[in-house]
Each structure stands twice: as structure tokens, then as C-alpha cells.
Amino acid sequence: MEKAQGTYPVLDIDEMTWFSADHHFGHRSVLKFDRRPYANLDEMERNLVMKHNAAVPERGATVIFLGDFVFPKGDRETDWRDIVRSLHGDRKILLAGNHDASLVKFYSKVFDAVLPEGVPLTVRLHGREARCVHSPENLCRRICPGFDDLPSGYSDVLLTLEYGNERIEGDWLCGHVHTVFRKLGSIVNVGVDAWGYSPVSVADAFALLDDPRIGIPGRKGFDGDFGEAG
């Protein structure tokens, strides 16, 4: 990585790059909160690994995780180090989320790079840039004054909101919002809940950034119900 203006890093990527976020390994309650279609925690974790490895090639890929990989105060002890090692990707980078702070020093042993919570990463593909963050909430409030009233898991209400006139600069990729939206303005949520529990290729993420629609719900996208386990 190189340094951007100021202190924030910039990473040149290629087409073999995927993004993901908000796995919440070890967190049983996320099954209820986000209506994840799994019978129990074991099934959820097996399927998240399976779907990751089905999407990402075993060799040659970079995967950038935008936070909340593990829920550290979860309902059981999850050996997340073995999980990280089992996921495809030659290079795995983590932007720590709000649930990751206590694990950052341990994450550094299994991820190729770890950025502390709140430090954005700019990715650059053939001159096009997008800034990656875990939480986009401050950006969302500028685009959509009613953002704080969006209920997680019932994001069809997104289509009825009044949008503000303020545009944010540049393209953004995020996690944190789970099912609240898949796209809001120039922000795309790469979290597993919005993408059928699979990682998102850079081609698909950038294509959605180019979609002219302002808001796309997180649970139902433009080509099907992404709440299915698949």
C-alpha cells in the first residue's frame, strides 16, 4: 500500500479483487436480527465459508473485508483464525469494524494487513478510485435525512424515503448497515446480508456504483431475493 494525501492508504487492485463485510462469526443473535436463513450458528458459519470459496478463486485473488468479521462477545468461542485460513484469497485485508477493535492485534497474525477502525482505504483500479470504510453512517445522513429511521431487516421502506439534495464526493464501499440498503447514492454496501452471503467482485461493486438509482434495498436487489441461503 502507498500513502494517499494525509495519512490514509491507497491500494492498487486488479480485477481479481473481492469485497465483503459483517460476517459476525460466533454471533448467534445475528440469525434473528438480520433474518439469516440458517437453522443455527454452525450452519451459518459453514455456509459463509462455502459461499466465499465458491465465489473467490483459490489462487490469485485479493479479498478486502470491511469489518465485523467476528463478534468477540459472541455466544460461543469461535476459532476465527482457522476460518480466516480456510477462506480463499492469496491476500486478505481487514478494515476493522466496531466489533473488531479488541481483536486487531490478533487479526494481524492471520490477515495480510489490518487497518484500525475508522481508517479508510482507497482502492484504485485502472485510475478509478473508491474509498472503503466500515461504517458509512455520517455519509448516509447527508444523502438521506431520514436514514436514522431506517429499520434493519425491513429495508423496502428505503424506496419511500425523501432524499436530500446533498451529494457526497466520490464512490464509497462500506459494511455495517447489514440489510438496511444495498446502494444509497454513491455508497455500496458489500456486507454479506445484501449479497446472498457471498463476497462481491470489484466488477459487480463498481457496476452497482454506476447504477443510476439512488436507493436499492439491502434485502431485495434488482435481480432477486438476497435473503436466500442459496
Backbone φ, ψ for residue 123 (5° rounding): -105, 145
The pTM (predicted TM-score) of the whole model is 0.84
Matching CATH number, 2-220, of 3.40.1350.10, 3.60.21.10, 3.30.420.40, 3.40.50.920 = 3.60.21.10
Q: Where are the domains of the chain?
A: 2-220
- Read off the pLDDT of residues 74-115 as tens digits, 9 standing for 90 and up: 555 557 888 999 999 999 999 998 887 777 777 888 999 999
- Read off the pLDDT of residues 121-159 as tens digits, 9 standing for 90 and up: 999 999 999 999 988 766 766 666 666 665 554 444 454
Distances, alpha carbon 210 to alpha carbons 2, 35, 37, 130, 203, in Å: 26, 29, 30, 12, 11
**pLDDT of 191 higher than 80:** yes
Q: Which of 10-19, 128-137, 199-208 has the lowest average pLDDT?
A: 128-137
**In this predicted structure, what is the pLDDT of residue 215?**
75
In this structure, what C-alpha cell is assigned to residue 162?
425523501
